[in-house]
Amino acid sequence: MSDRYEEMLSVFDPEFHRAVAALGFDVWIAADCPMCATVTAVPATREQVAAYEAGALVQDAFPHLTADARETIISGLCPTCFDTMTISLN
């Protein structure tokens, strides 16, 4: 993970990081939104990342994530841009 992502994650309260770790998540998947350059990060486990990299479908690999969060993993789109695109396509 680059310094930039670590800097972004450092803005979260340490209490938040502990709560995420307590849920069993041990990695953050971070991505730059291709539309607005916002960095979005979603929590996951190393096992989930390994399953996804081995070819599992995103909804099977990360069942705990919302559609918006899965989109971050697939395309890097942040929830705001994803919502905007969803609206404009309907």
Which residues contact Zn ion by CB under 5 A?
A: 33, 35-36, 38, 78, 81
Q: SS3 helix, strand, coil % of the chain, rounded to 5? A: 55, 15, 35
Q: Please, what is the minimum distance in Å from the beta carbon of residue 66 to Zn ion? A: 16
Phi, psi of 87 (to 5 degrees): -65, -45
Cα–Cα distance, 78 to 32 (Å, whole number): 8
Q: Please, what is the minimum distance in Å from the beta carbon of residue 77 to Zn ion? A: 6
| Residue closer to Zn ion, measured from CB, 26 or 68 | 68
| Residue closer to Zn ion, measured from CB, 26 or 32 | 32
